[in-house]
Chain A
Amino acid sequence: MISTVTTTVTTVATLAMGATLGALAALLLILLLSAKEVSTADTRQRLVAFGRSLDVGILPLLMVFALIVAFKVLEVVG
């Protein structure tokens, strides 16, 4: 079950599905971070620009990842 509860920004999946989607987002974050690492190691203009544009995806995904980890830790501790 999936529901979009507001205009564009909020879509909520069930708990079980949420874990899978969170894992996929974490994989995407790893991919973007790796691409950033590779592209910033080069001096070619386009690769440097690519590395900079990756920040658009990296920062919000890091926030999501931190939130997922925080709730998992709370689940284990609590």
Chain B
Amino acid sequence: MIVKLELSVFILYLTLIALAEIITSFIDPGYGLLLHATILVSLLALSALWHGANPASSLYLSLSLAPLIRILSLSLPLMYFPRYAWYTVASIPVLAAALTAIRVQGLGLRDVGLTFSKPIVQACIALTGVPFGVVEYFILKPEPLASNLPMPEYSLLAIALVFSTGFVEELVFRGVLQRSAVEALGEKAGVLGVTAVFATMHVGWLNALDVLFVFAIGLLFAVLTLKTGSIVGVSLSHGLTNVILFLAMPAK
């Protein structure tokens, strides 16, 4: 069996990203950041080397968003903000990076799944976030994100959470990265590869069961995005999962 060069390079970078996440979480965030930075620069250089009609160029450019997410989240001065604002603050530069990647690749909004086709199907997909949130709560048991907030602020926080964690992450992983991975590696390898990257980025929770759970959910989101051609439903589901996980369940 001939393994495509693009797939081999992708697996190499997946391993490096996993290593950088392990170093960040278990050894030293500084060394983790340095490895992530090296991965980022080399992926951008690879993307330029493959520049032209080859879809691998887009794949490596899109994959550079993964180490970039960790570099940004580690270097942002989040400790100056209240805990409930961390999500929104962290998502803004990540969104800027995703939009820049979309612009550099010359993609349109529809290309990255920003389409409202099949609204009833998307609404059904969105509702899956409720059971996912409950299950993940029992896996992680996180501290409540905020307590004693008045209802209007609580609702605003929930909306911010849906946007900053649901929409932004789905835009990066399913909208930008999965699109180029499927194009360069094929459906099966592209979906599995991007889901593995997504799960790897959750190593920081220090919970192996959660990484497995996130892999399963990521795989489902990936298939749903592939089938519907839209990230709207999975973004809402992802956001709702986090609202249940960080706001609703801990407040009970």
Interface on A for B, CB 8 Å cutoff?
A: 2-15, 17-18, 20-22, 24-25, 28, 31-32, 35, 45-47, 49-50, 52-57, 59-61, 63-64, 67-68, 71
Q: Is the CB of A53 within 8 A of B104?
A: yes
Interface on B for A, CB 8 Å cutoff?
A: 24-25, 29-30, 33-34, 37, 40-41, 44-45, 47-49, 51-52, 57, 61, 64-65, 68-80, 83, 86-87, 90-94, 96-97, 100-101, 104, 142, 164-165, 168-169, 198, 201-202, 204-205, 214, 238, 242, 246
A20 to B86, CA, bound (A): 19
Give the chain A neighbours of B52 by CB distance below 8 A. 45
Q: Which of A2, A6, A46 contacts B48 (CB 8 A)?
A: A46
Q: Is the CB of A21 within 8 A of B33?
A: yes
Identify 16 residue pairs between A and B in the complex whose beta-carbon atoms are under 8 Å apart, listed by A's number. A2-B24, A8-B169, A9-B91, A11-B73, A11-B74, A12-B79, A21-B33, A22-B75, A22-B77, A25-B74, A25-B75, A57-B68, A60-B96, A63-B92, A64-B75, A71-B77
CB-based A-B contact count at 8 angstroms:
161
Q: Is the CB of A49 within 8 A of B51?
A: yes
Interface majority SS (helix, strand, loop, mixed), chain B? helix
Known: A9-B87, A57-B40. A3 touches B204 (CB 8 A): yes
A67 to B25, CA, bound (A): 24
A13 to B201, CA, bound (A): 16
Give the chain A neighbours of B238 by CB distance below 8 A. 7
A13 to B29, CA, bound (A): 8
Interface majority SS (helix, strand, loop, mixed), chain A? helix
Task: Give 18 new A-B contacts, CB below 8 A, not counting A2-B25, A7-B165, A9-B165.
Answer: A6-B90, A6-B165, A9-B73, A9-B87, A9-B91, A9-B164, A12-B79, A12-B86, A14-B79, A15-B79, A17-B29, A24-B37, A24-B75, A25-B75, A28-B40, A49-B48, A56-B101, A57-B44
Q: Is the CB of A63 within 8 A of B71?
A: no
Q: Is the CB of A4 within 8 A of B204?
A: yes
A67 to B96, CA, bound (A): 14
Q: Is the CB of B48 within 8 A of A53?
A: yes
Could you say which of A3, A47, A50 has the most chain B C-beta atoms within 10 Å of its C-beta?
A: A50
Give the chain B neighbours of A21 by CB distance below 8 A. 29-30, 33, 74-75
- Shortest distance from the beta carbon of B250 to any chain A beta carbon, whole Å: 13
Q: Is the CB of B72 within 8 A of A61?
A: yes
Could you say which of A2, A5, A32, A63 has the most chain B C-beta atoms within 10 Å of its C-beta?
A: A5
